[in-house]
Amino acid sequence: MKVYVRKTGEYKEVVQYGSDTLKFLYGNAFGRILLRLAISKLPSKIYGMRKASKRSAKDVPSFIADHGIDMTQFEEREFESFTDFFTRKFKEGVRPIGDGLVSPADSKLLVYPADNDTRINVKGREYFLSEITGRNMDEYKGGLVLVFRLCIDDGHRYCFPAKGTVIEQYDIKGKLHTVSPLSQAYKIYKENSRKVSFLDTEEFGKLCYIEVGAILVGKIVDHGKKVFEKGEEKGYFEPGGSTIIVIVPEGVAVDNDIMEESSKGIETEVKYGERIGQKC
């Protein structure tokens, strides 16, 4: 699949990590039997324990090489495990915080309108916002739904997109599911474990911020901050790909290039702290 790169104005091909395995799990009856086991929390916990073991550190060099990860962007140190590598921190100053509304993470962004029925379309499937958040979302009619998909080779730390305070926060438990586009035949987001936060921001009003767990990711680590600055780290995901959804009210405009690509169903590559929109 291709994504739009803002810096160059060009497109690049992105390979979906583990695509053959996911096609098998979602693409035939036997695979779906195994999927029922894979999405339970016990396999996820076992996977997490293995990735947190010291033995898993030996997998790091080949993973970096296979995925072409630029490690000059991250802290220079020895990693004690694959999880330690996966949750690596950026070097200070490599992710400057832009003006306006900023991206919460290194990710691939698609924007959807919060239409009259307050639902979004994800890869041909419709989702009511209330299914994702577990509550009525009529207050966001006329706003936008920003879906940030983190790939396996992205840094998995994420930040607040604006300055403000947390006014409400709750967890929704569910079966862990992949957030890969390959799982488009299933209603994935409402079945995933997720953390929902409502943020009262100084510049953009009330935002809804959702962290979504994925298959083989049993843990969303939230730092529990109640008062925050724009670009301040909110938390991180442990191993696996995952997604952040930010719902903004009417009156917030996402940058034109991102909107243009989203209208074509093409994701835009964005970085942690990069400007993506403004108040209008």
Alpha-carbon span 264 to 273, nearest angstrom: 24
Nearest to 210 by CA among 68, 119, 127, 104: 104
Phi, psi of 155 (to 5 degrees): -65, 135
Residues with a known catalytic role: 106, 242
Q: Please give the pLDDT value at position 189.
A: 47
Strand partners, 206: 200
pLDDT tens track for 16-29? 655 555 555 556 66
pLDDT tens for the chain, 280 residues long, are 899 999 899 999 887 655 555 555 556 666 655 666 655 556 666 767 888 899 999 999 999 999 889 999 999 999 999 999 999 999 999 999 999 999 999 999 999 988 757 566 443 456 788 888 889 898 999 999 999 989 888 999 999 999 999 999 999 886 655 555 555 555 554 467 789 999 999 999 999 999 987 655 558 899 999 999 999 999 999 876 588 999 999 999 999 999 999 999 999 999 999 999 999 9
Angle between helices 19-27 and 29-38 (to 10 degrees): 110
For the entire predicted model, the pTM comes to 0.86
Q: Is 26 exposed, middle or buried (0-12, 13-18, 19+ CB in 10 A)?
A: middle
CA Rg, the chain, in Å?
18
